[in-house]
Amino acid sequence: MHKPQNVIAKPWPDYELLDSGSGRKLERFGKVILDRPEVNANGKSKLTIKEWREIAHSRFEQKGSNSGTWSKPIDDWTIKTQEPNSLTFNLSQSQFKHIGVFPEQSSNWDYIFKALHGKKTQAALNLFAYTGGASLAAKAAGADITHIEAFGQLITKAKENMESTGLADIRWIKEDALKFVQKAIKREKKYDLIVMDPPSWGRGPKGEKWIIEKHLDELISGVSKLMNPKAHLIVNTYSGILPEELKYRLDQHIKFTNYQVGSLILQAKSGTQFSTGTLVRGQVR
C-alpha cells in the first residue's frame, strides 16, 4: 500500500480558511466570515481571540450535543467554485453549525470533473450525497448522475444548487444508501464513478439505522458489484477511521490500479491546518 499522504484542498476565490486552533475554525465564504467549532482543529491559532471576534461576522456556540446558536443571523447567500467546474452553492446558517457546503470536498469535485469530462456519457452514483457537490461536479462533466440522500431537506437544497449552477437532469432518490445499493445489485446496475461519504451513524428515511463499524464492510462489498471495469471510486469519511484501515477494508473487495490514500486537509491562510477526514480515491481494475 502507498504510504498515506495529506491531500490539501486548495482555496478558491469564494472560500478560504483564515485560521484555526483551540477547537475552532475561522472561514470566509464569499464576503461572509464565520467562526465555528471544529473538533480536529488542534493546536494554537495564529490570530488572537480578539482578532477573531473583530473579523468574524457571526460565531456559532454549541448549546447541546447536536445543536447551537449563531451570534448574529445572516441572510442566505451564494458562493461559486472556480473553473473548471464552476459550481454554485446556496448557503444558510443552521442550528447544527453547518451552512450547506463542505469546502474541503473541492479536491474531490476536481477529481470527479477530470475523471469524467470529455468522455462519452458515463453513469455516476453519489451515496450520502448531502447538498450535492459531487453530483454537481459529475453532471457538469456530462455524466448521468444518481444522487442518494436520506433527508428530503438536503435534496431540496441540492436541487437549488443544481438550478443555480445552470445544470439539470440529476436523478434524485430519497433512500437509505445501503438499501439502494442492495436494490441496484439486483437490477444489475453498473457505474463508472461512485462517491460515498459515510457518516459514523445515521438513519435512513424509514428509520433504517446506519452504524459505520457495523455496516461499512457490507456497503463496500455491495459497491464493488456496481462498478464497471476502470471505474473511479471516492470514499471519504469523517468518522475517525484511519487511512490505512479504510484502504485495508476496501482491499477485501476492490482492486485498484492506482489510488491515493491519506487525510483530506484544510490549510489556513495563517499557516495552521487540520484533517477533515480520511480519503481513499482511485481507479479500479
Instruction: Please give, one letter per residue, the 3-state secondary structure of the chain.
Output: CCCCEEEEECCECCEEEEEEECCEEEEEECCEEEEEECCCCCCCCCCCHHHHHHHCCEEEEECCCCCEEECCCCCCEEEECCCCCCCEEEECCCCCCCCCCCHHHHHHHHHHHHHHCCCCCCEEEEECCCCCHHHHHHHHCCCEEEEEECCHHHHHHHHHHHHHHCCCCCEEEECCHHHHHHHHHHCCCCEEEEEECCCCEEECCCCCEEEHHHHHHHHHHHHHCCEEEEEEEEEEECCCCCHHHHHHHHHCCCCEEEEEEEEEEEECCCCCEEEEEEEEEEEEC
Q: Residue 165: what pLDDT?
A: 97
Q: Residue 121: what pLDDT?
A: 86
Name the residue with higher pLDDT: 116 or 64.
116
- What φ, ψ does residue 177 adopt, rounded to 5°? -60, -45
Asked if the model's pLDDT at residue 58 lies above 80, the reply is yes
Asked if the model's pLDDT at residue 1 lies above 70, the reply is no
Q: Residue 184: what pLDDT?
A: 98
Q: Residue 41: what pLDDT?
A: 95
Name the pLDDT band for 215 (thresholds 50, 70, 90): very high
Is the CATH number of domain 5-284 2.60.120.650?
no
Asked if the model's pLDDT at residue 66 lies above 90, the reply is no
Q: Residue 70: what pLDDT?
A: 98
Return the closest-CA partner of residue 223 out of 256, 185, 260, 168.
185
Asked if the model's pLDDT at residue 94 lies above 80, the reply is yes
In this prediction, residues 82-88 reach a mean pLDDT of 89
Q: Residue 40: what pLDDT?
A: 93
Of the chain, the percentage scoring pLDDT greater than 70 comes to 100
In this prediction, residues 170-183 reach a mean pLDDT of 97
The string of pLDDT tens digits covering residues 239-278 is 889 999 999 999 999 999 999 999 999 999 999 999 999 9
Q: What mean pLDDT is reported for the chain?
A: 95
Q: Residue 104: what pLDDT?
A: 94
In this prediction, residues 30-39 reach a mean pLDDT of 97
In this prediction, residues 11-16 reach a mean pLDDT of 94
Q: Residue 10: what pLDDT?
A: 85
Residue 12 has which C-alpha cell? 478558491
In this prediction, residues 123-139 reach a mean pLDDT of 97
Asked if the model's pLDDT at residue 107 lies above 80, the reply is yes
